[in-house]
Structures are given as C-alpha cells and as structure tokens.
Amino acid sequence: MEKQHYLKLINEELATAPWYVQEYYQAKATVPLSPATLYQYLTEFRRFFNWLISEGLTPANHPADIDIQVLATLKKETVELYKSALLNQTKLTGAPGSRTHPTINRSLNALSSLFKYLTEDTEDEHGEAYFDRNVMHKIALVRTSETYATRAANLKTKLMLGNTDHDYLTFIDEKYEGLLSPARKRYFHRDKQRDLAINALLLGSGLRVSEAANADLRHLNLKTGTIGVVRKGGQRDTVPIAPWTLPYIQDYVEHRTAIYHATSSDRALFLSSYRGQASRMQANSMEKMVAKYSSAFKVRITPHKLRHTLASKLYLATKNEQLVATQLGQNSTSATGLYTHIMDEEQRHGLEKM
C-alpha cells in the first residue's frame, strides 16, 4: 500500500535525522499531514543539512549531529546562499528532472514549516520555544518567470472546459470499452462504476486526489450533495459536489459492497480489490487511472487538472474568486488569479463568436 511504502521511507529518513526533526515528525504526524508530504519535507531537510555540512557551516559530519543552535543562529545571507545554490543547480543542469521554481519553493516551504515548529510550537523545560529567531520569515519565495497569462495559456490545453468534462465521462461510460482487448475488458467491467465515480467526484468538487483517496464512505452525503474531507494542515471541511456528477457517484455507492466484497470494516469510499480482499484505493492508483482514461479520450492529464477544470468553470459561472478558493479549500485567493486569466480568455472567445 502507498501509505506503508511512505512510512518505510520516512523511517529511513528519521534514522539519520537530528532529534528535533524527529520531534517535528511526531508532532506533524498527528495533525495529520499526509505521509507523502511528510516524506517530502524530510528529504528537503536532509538536502539542506547536507548542504550546511558541505559548505562547512557546521562542525558536524552527519545531519543527525547538527546542533539546534546552528539553526537558531542561522543568518539570512546563509539561507539566501542555499536558495541561490538551488537556483544555480536548475540553471546549470537545465535537464529534465532538474529543480524548477515551484520545486525550489517547496524546499523553502518545508524549511519554513520546520522553523515555525521550532520557534512557535515547541517547549523546553522552562515552557519556552527552543529558540525565538525564525530566519525563514526573511526569505522570499522564488518568483516564477512566467506570467499568469502564459501559465493560463499552457494550462488551458489540458482542461476540460465547455462540455468536455461531460463528454469525458460519457467516453468512459460508453466508448472506452471498445478500445480494449477481451482480457482487459474483465477488469474494466469490474471497476467501471468506481472509476466513473472518482472522475466525477474530482470534476464535481475540485478535491485533491489525496483527499479523494482518504475519504470514507460515511463522510459522503448524497442527499445534500456534499463530502467531508481532511484538507492540508489537518482541517476538516465539507465540500459541495456539482449535481450533474452525483448520479455517477450514487451508482458506484449502490454497487460498492457487491463489487469489492466490502464489509462494515471497509470504511474507504473508494475501494480496490487485491486477491479478493477489499482495500482502500491509493492516490497513486487514482493518478494512473485518470492518466489511462484521459490519454484514450484526448490528452494525458493528472487529477490536478480535473481540479483546475472545476475551479476554472466555477469562476466562469460566478466571477467570485473567494468562492473558488473556498471550494478548493484554500485560505486565500492568492492562488486563484490563474483561473481568472483562463476564463477571461474563454469569455473573450465566446464574445467573438456572437
């Protein structure tokens, strides 16, 4: 299972991490942050600690031996040098897989999370935080070289705008089977209702794929058209689902027990079958499933593009950035400007056709 895989990797990272990173993990694992996010953060900490060692900024020879006072006294210019090192790595390699601006910002966000914990959420024997000075407050994220308009133009080709999202589900329901060999049709028939429900839920709610994978059956309310999920940071949220997608979800729910031999202990909304036993379908399996159907339909996309599709269409319908942010589980509208650029362009094209 994906979760067990990440927990194994996390234990390997913790074995070579300083004690305060181990404490950080124990605190954040109860929020809960997802194992995938925690593993990513731990690898970023290790990357940073190894850089401190290679630059001679600590007498330690291994990350586990780096004293917490090294972080407490870290200068702004030192972290800026690390940011520059990440940027130069990107510029020098320029190869597929090199670190892009968003991935560099994820590195900085990981460090910000660690420093926030150490300066605000910890207590020593005197009830005080381990140290007071958070150098990451002075570090700005890397600004992308693309404008919103450029990002919107690139993204728009991978969105299911207009009636394309409806056509996509119809394609899975009525046409995909015709592309399959007899051997593959067996598994398609078994999982068809589930796969339609997952694609419908992502298109109708804008959930992250991890939120859909972690959702339980008891948190789905078809009468009100809502689903309860755990957002990033561990916050519980109740998310409305677009009515046109509900029949697909209801059809799956009605047959879920029979298809996957589910028992009362199988709480997951979306199940898979392994050796005749029901188990929670994992996020990476959902990603592969969406890639399979979307490739056959039009162009290979990710579940995140289905989330972008919902956000873009919702903005077109409401012209309300705050409403879009709320639907996506975002605390501010800072990330919704992209959708305004996508849909303003769509609106222009519509006017030209009048």
Q: Mean pLDDT per segment of 10 residues, for the chain of length 354 residues? A: 80 96 92 82 96 94 96 94 83 49 88 96 92 94 64 68 94 96 93 98 95 95 96 86 97 97 94 89 92 94 92 88 89 65 59 55
CA distance 82 to 102: 16
322: tokens are 């705050």
What are the helix (H) ranges across 206-302?
A: 209-214, 246-260, 283-297
With beta carbons less than 8 A apart as the criterion, state whether 193 and 251 touch. Answer: yes
Q: Are residues 191 and 285 in the same domain?
A: yes
> Rounded to two decimals, what is the model's pTM?
0.66
For residue 228, the model assigns a pLDDT of 96
Q: Are residues 217 and 111 in the same domain?
A: no
Domain boundary among 97, 124, 145: 145
Report the half-sphere exposure of 150 (CA within 13 A, side-chain side): 4
Contacts of 38 (CB under 8 A, 6+ apart): 6, 10, 25, 28, 29
> 3-state DSSP call for residue 268?
strand
CA distance 209 to 88: 32
- Supply the CATH number for residue 338's domain: 1.10.443.10
Q: Are residues 330 and 205 in the same domain?
A: yes
Q: Are residues 67 and 101 in the same domain?
A: yes
Q: Are residues 172 and 257 in the same domain?
A: yes
Domain boundary among 117, 145, 173: 145
Q: Are residues 289 and 243 in the same domain?
A: yes
Q: Are residues 141 and 157 in the same domain?
A: no
21: tokens are 């990173």
* Residue range(s) defining the domain that contains residue 250: 152-352
- Dump the DSSP string for 317-335: HH--HHHHHHHHT-SSSTT
CA distance 336 to 206: 13
For residue 126, the model assigns a pLDDT of 87
Domain boundary among 103, 120, 145: 145
Q: Are residues 119 and 187 in the same domain?
A: no
Q: Are residues 96 and 209 in the same domain?
A: no
CA distance 300 to 296: 8
Q: Which of 122, 120, 123 is closest to 133 using CA atoms?
A: 120
Q: How many domains does the chain have?
A: 2
Q: Are residues 140 and 158 in the same domain?
A: no
For residue 43, the model assigns a pLDDT of 96
66-88: buried (b, 16+ CB within 10 Å) or exposed (e) per residue? beeebbbebeeebbeebbeebee
Q: Are residues 75 and 186 in the same domain?
A: no
